[in-house]
Structures are given as C-alpha cells and as structure tokens.
C-alpha cells in the first residue's frame, strides 16, 4: 500500500535540550504527536486605577500535553531489549542536575567552599511546528507505565508534561532563548494582523472610532 504522493509530510513535535555552551543538542522526538495540547496564558498587567491598562511584560504561558510511547513494534522485530527505559530516561534527565556536577560540588563543599551555585538545567526548546519554537522549563512530569516485557522493562507508557514558556522577562539578553521568544512574538503579531477585520459592521457597533 503506497501513500498518496501529494499528502503533506507529517511533522513531529519534539523537545531539544542543550547543555550550554556545548552546541550538540539532545533531540527527543515524540513517537506519536499528542492529540491535544492545552495552553494557559496569564496576563502580566498593572494594578487597578491608572495602571490598569499597562502591560508589564509577556504573559506567563504554560503548556500541558501527554506523550505516548510504545515499544511493541521494536519487540516484534527483536529489538528494544531495554524497553522504553532509554526514551523515558532522556525525558527524565531534563530535570536532573548532571551527576558529574553533583560529585564536583560535593567535593568543593567538603573542601570548605562557602557557597556553591546550583547547576543550571539544560536550555530546552519545545518544537511544535515551524511557528512554535519556544524556550521552556519542565515544571510537571508524571509517567504512567502501562505494559511490561518479561524482564519488567516498560514497553508502553504515557508521559504527562507541564512546560513553562520562558520569555524575555525570564532570560538575559545573552541567552539565545531571549531572541527566540522575541521572534516568536513577532510571528504571532504578524499572524494576528492577518485576522483583523477593517470593519465593525458585523458587530453592530456602527462607525465607532476612538
């Protein structure tokens, strides 16, 4: 059975993490794109009174989605000896400090160093098509393992992810995420401009002008 030659290529969602300043990314492509994705935007506005209409910055945006993983096909082909452990581990390490840094910081503390800064999480991008490439921080993570092989390796699982979008309010100018988010907002403003109507006739407001 062949695919219709003019059918559009299906893009995959993904999480991409960088251990800055190292340029080589870790790419976690979603095996199956989630059926739904929920987004919440909390406006950053001023207080009541004269500041009520002031916008203090980009809204705080959170994203929630469920990622499904299945190793059944690999098992039928004689692969997936570890089940879904590698795929789950790739997601989980996004919220772990590097073990090498833990060991190094422990040694510094034992040597009498007064203050140790907590290690930074990887710089992570959420990619959902070409119009949504966003710097994010993983805030919620839950795994439901639904089936196992004879060695108790998980072979089917659902991962619920909560992401907090990082805007130019959160990142310094030197961070690449600052400019990525600004570009994302510019694209959003461009798309919004195409949706605006030049007439108020459909609203019944007549020739309202300010």
* Residue-level pLDDT at 120: 79
Please give the pLDDT value at position 1.
Answer: 47
pLDDT at 209: 66
Contacts 24+ apart (CB under 8 A), 126-130: 126/13, 126/14, 126/15, 126/63, 126/163, 126/165, 127/13, 127/14, 127/15, 127/16, 128/13, 128/37, 129/11, 129/13, 130/11
Looking at residue 84, its pLDDT comes to 92
Give the span between the Cα atoms of 63 and 164, in whole angstroms. 6
* Ramachandran bin of 131, using left for φ above 0, alpha for ψ from -120 to 50, beta for the remaining angles: alpha
Cβ neighbors of 152 (< 8 A, separation 6 or more) are none
Q: Are strands 14-18 and 37-45 parallel, antiparallel or unpaired?
A: unpaired
For 95-131, write each residue's pLDDT tens digit: 888 887 778 878 877 877 766 667 778 899 999 998 8
- Close Cβ partners of 120 (under 8 Å, ≥ 6 residues apart): 20
pLDDT at residue 126 in the model: 97
Beta carbons of 127 and 14 less than 8 angstroms apart: yes
């Amino acid at each position: 059975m062949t695919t219709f030659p003019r059918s559009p290529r299906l893009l995959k969602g993904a999480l991409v993490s960088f251990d800055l300043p190292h340029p080589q990314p870790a790419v976690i492509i979603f095996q199956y794109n989630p059926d739904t994705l929920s987004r919440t935007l909390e406006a950053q506005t001023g207080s009541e009174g004269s500041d009520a209409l002031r916008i203090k910055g980009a809204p705080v945006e959170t994203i929630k989605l469920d990622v499904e993983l299945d190793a059944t096909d690999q098992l039928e082909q004689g692969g997936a000896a570890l089940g879904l452990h590698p795929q789950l581990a790739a997601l989980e390490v996004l919220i772990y400090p590097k073990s090498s840094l833990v060991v190094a910081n422990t040694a510094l503390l034992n040597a009498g160093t007064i203050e140790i800064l907590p290690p930074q999480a990887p710089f992570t991008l959420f990619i959902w098509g070409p119009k949504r490439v966003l710097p994010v921080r993983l805030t919620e993570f839950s795994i439901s393992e639904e089936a196992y092989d004879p060695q108790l390796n998980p072979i089917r699982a659902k991962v619920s992810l909560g992401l907090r979008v990082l805007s130019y309010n959160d990142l310094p100018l030197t961070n690449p995420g600052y400019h990525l988010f600004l570009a994302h907002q510019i694209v959003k403003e461009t798309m919004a401009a195409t949706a605006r109507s030049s007439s108020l006739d459909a609203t019944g407001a007549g020739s309202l002008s300010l």
